[in-house]
C-alpha cells in the first residue's frame, strides 16, 4: 500500500484517545469508523467529538463548516463487520496485552489482507501481541498524545517483524494528519516523551502515596519551577485515572516493584470512587474549575 491507498480508518475503542484520533483523521479528510463493544461508550464519544469540533471552530482552528464536515466523516458502530473495507486500523483499548491480542485476532479475520494494523498502546511493546494480529509484518505501534491536535507528536514504533515499508507508510500517514512522526529505532516501553513523563508522574504519585506532600503541593512545585500551566497530577487527570491505573497495575504486577504497587493502589482508590479525572468531573482535582487553573494556585499554599 501507498499513502494514496489509505482512505478509510477504523478506530477501535471509543475512549478519550480513540475519540481524538478519529477526529484528527477526519479533520484531514479521511473517512473514519469508530468501533466499540459498548453502545453507551459510542454515545458518549459522539457527544465528545462534537464538543471537540465545536471548540476547535470557536478557537479559530477550523471554520464551522470544516468542523461539521469532519464530524460527518465519522461513523460509529458496535458491528465489527464494519472492518470489511478499512485500510488502516488504530486500536485504543485498555492496556492489557491479552485483550489487545484477542481484539486484533478478531479483526484480522474481518479486515482485508491489505489493512495495516496499529496500536496506540502507551507502555506495552507491540511484539507482545504481534503474532496475534495475524499480520505481524503489517503491524506497528502508532502512539498519539492528547490533545492530538495540540500535542501533535506521533511515535511510530515497529517491532522486529514489522516490514520497513510499513514503517515508512505510517510515517507518511502521520504527516498527512498533521502530526510530527517520531520513528523509534527499536522497541522501548513508553516511547520518547512518555518515557520522560512517566518518570515524573511516578515520582509525583510516590510523593502523595507516601504522605510526603499533597496533590496540590506536588503540582505547585512542578508548575512554579518549570513554568508550566499544569503539573504531573493534573496531567494524569487529563489522561484518565482509569487508564493510568491500568498501566500502573500491569507493571506493578509484572515487576513486583513496591513503589509501583503503592502508586497503583493510590490510583485504585480514585478509580473505585469513580473519580477518573477530567472526563468524570473529578480526579485529583474537580472540574470544570480545577484548582491548578486558578490565578492564585501557586501562592495559596504559601
d(CA 250, CA 261): 10
Is 146 in the same domain as 215?
no
| Confidence (pLDDT) at 210 | 96
CATH code at position 250:
1.10.1040.10
Average pLDDT, the chain: 96
Please give the average per-residue pLDDT across 122-148, as a whole number: 95
Quick one: 220 and 276 in the same domain?
yes
Note whether 105 and 204 are same-domain residues: no
* Count of domains observed in the chain: 2
| Residue 172, SS3 per DSSP | helix
pLDDT in tens, 197-222: 989 999 999 999 999 999 999 999 99
How many whole angstroms separate alpha carbon 82 and alpha carbon 129? 23
| Cβ-contact 99, 151 below 8 angstroms | no
The cell 513554568 sits on which residue?
A: 227
Minimum mean pLDDT among 70-74, 139-143, 151-155, 298-302: which range? 298-302
Query: Per-residue pLDDT averaged across 5-17, rounded?
Result: 97
The mean per-residue pLDDT over the stretch 268-286 comes to: 97
Q: What is the pLDDT of residue 301?
A: 61
Per-residue pLDDT at 125 exceeds 90: yes
CATH of residue 173: 3.40.50.720
Cα separation, 84 vs 61, in Å, equals 33
- Which grid coordinates are listed for 231? 503539573
**Do the domain assignments include residue 146?**
yes
Asked if 173 and 247 sit in the same domain, the reply is no
- Quick one: three-class SS letters along 278-295? HHHCECCCECCCCHHHCC
Q: Do 142 and 42 fall within a single domain?
A: yes
Domain that holds residue 218: 193-290
Domain boundary among 165, 183, 201: 183
197 and 156 both lie in a single domain = no
- In this structure, the answer to whether residues 153 and 224 fall within a common structural domain is no
Asked if residue 124 belongs to a domain, the reply is yes
pLDDT digits (tens, 9 = 90+) for 41-61: 999 999 999 999 999 999 999
Amino acid at each position: 500500500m501507498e499513502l494514496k491507498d489509505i482512505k478509510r480508518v477504523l478506530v477501535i475503542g471509543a475512549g478519550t484517545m480513540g475519540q481524538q484520533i478519529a477526529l484528527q483523521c477526519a479533520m484531514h479528510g479521511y473517512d473514519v469508523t469508530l468501533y466499540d463493544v459498548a453502545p453507551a461508550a459510542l454515545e458518549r464519544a459522539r457527544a465528545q467529538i462534537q464538543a471537540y469540533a465545536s471548540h476547535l471552530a470557536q478557537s479559530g482552528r477550523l471554520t464551522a463548516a470544516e468542523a461539521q464536515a469532519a464530524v460527518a466523516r465519522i461513523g460509529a458502530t458496535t458491528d465489527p463487520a464494519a472492518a470489511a473495507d478499512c485500510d488502516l486500523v488504530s486500536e485504543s483499548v485498555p492496556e492489557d496485552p491479552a485483550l489487545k491480542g484477542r481484539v486484533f485476532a478478531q479483526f484480522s479475520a474481518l479486515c482485508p489482507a491489505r489493512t495495516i494494523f496499529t496500536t496506540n498502546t502507551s507502555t506495552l511493546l507491540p511484539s507482545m501481541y504481534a503474532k496475534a494480529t495475524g499480520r505481524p509484518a503489517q503491524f506497528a505501534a502508532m502512539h498519539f498524545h492528547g490533545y492530538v491536535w495540540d500535542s501533535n507528536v506521533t511515535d511510530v514504533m515497529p517491532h522486529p517483524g514489522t516490514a520497513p515499508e510499513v514503517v515508512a507508510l505510517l510515517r507518511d500517514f502521520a504527516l498527512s494528519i498533521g502530526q510530527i512522526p517520531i520513528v523509534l529505532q527499536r522497541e522501548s516501553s513508553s516511547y520518547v516523551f512518555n518515557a520522560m513523563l512517566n518518570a515524573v508522574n511516578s515520582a509525583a504519585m510516590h510523593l502523595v502515596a507516601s504522605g510526603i506532600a499533597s496533590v496540590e503541593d506536588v503540582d505547585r512545585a512542578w508548575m512554579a519551577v518549570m513554568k508550566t500551566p499544569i503539573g504531573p497530577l493534573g496531567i494524569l487527570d487529563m489522561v484518565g485515572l482509569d487508564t493510568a491505573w491500568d498501566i500502573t497495575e500491569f507493571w506493578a504486577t509484572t515487576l513486583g516493584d513496591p513503589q509501583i504497587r503503592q502508586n497503583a493502589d493510590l490510583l485504585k482508590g480514585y478509580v473505585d470512587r469513580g473519580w477518573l479525572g477530567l472526563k468524570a468531573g473529578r480526579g485529583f482535582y474537580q472540574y470544570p474549575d480545577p484548582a491548578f487553573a486558578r490565578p492564585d494556585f501557586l501562592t495559596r499554599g504559601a
